[in-house]
Amino acid sequence: MRRIRTYPTLALLLCAVLSLGNGACYVKVHDADAAFCLDDVDNKTHPVGSSWINSDCMYCTCSSCCTTYSIPRRFPGYCVAVFNRSACEFKVFRRDDHSVECPFFSAVGK
């Protein structure tokens, strides 16, 4: 009987952990009767039901926005992560020579 009660507890715990996994998103309040959606970063309007990428590299709908990029982690100390806003991506380069890319071993986001 104890095992039967354990499964719902584990399922609830898994749901709680998964909800924390996408920390690069946020929910927006949207009036269901609105004729358009407003991007709160660019202050531009978009049709209801559409999606777009704003100038902060966020993929948005009327009700939420999420980052479109991952942030590199665990790379050599002689390297630096550089964000390319026009491509909406990070790349990792040597600090002393940005023409040489460095490896990275994990990333967060997206």
pLDDT exceeds 60 at position 8: no
Task: Quick: pLDDT tens for 29-70.
Answer: 888 889 999 999 999 999 999 999 999 999 999 999 999 999
Between the CA of residue 40 and those of 26, 30, 33, 55, 65, what are the distances in Å? 12, 11, 18, 11, 10
CATH number of 71-108: 2.20.25.590
Q: Sketch the domain layout of the chain as residue ranges.
A: 22-68, 71-108
Q: Can you spell out the DSSP letters for 24-37?
A: TEEE----TT-SEE
pTM exceeds 0.75, yes or no: no
CATH number of 22-68: 2.10.70
What is the layout of strands, in order, in the sheet containing 52-53? 25-27, 64-67, 58-60, 52-53
Q: Per the structure block, which two tokens stand in for 69?
A: 């990029």
Task: Quick: pLDDT tens for 62-98.
Answer: 999 999 999 999 999 999 999 999 999 999 999 999 9
Residue with tokens 């590199």: 72
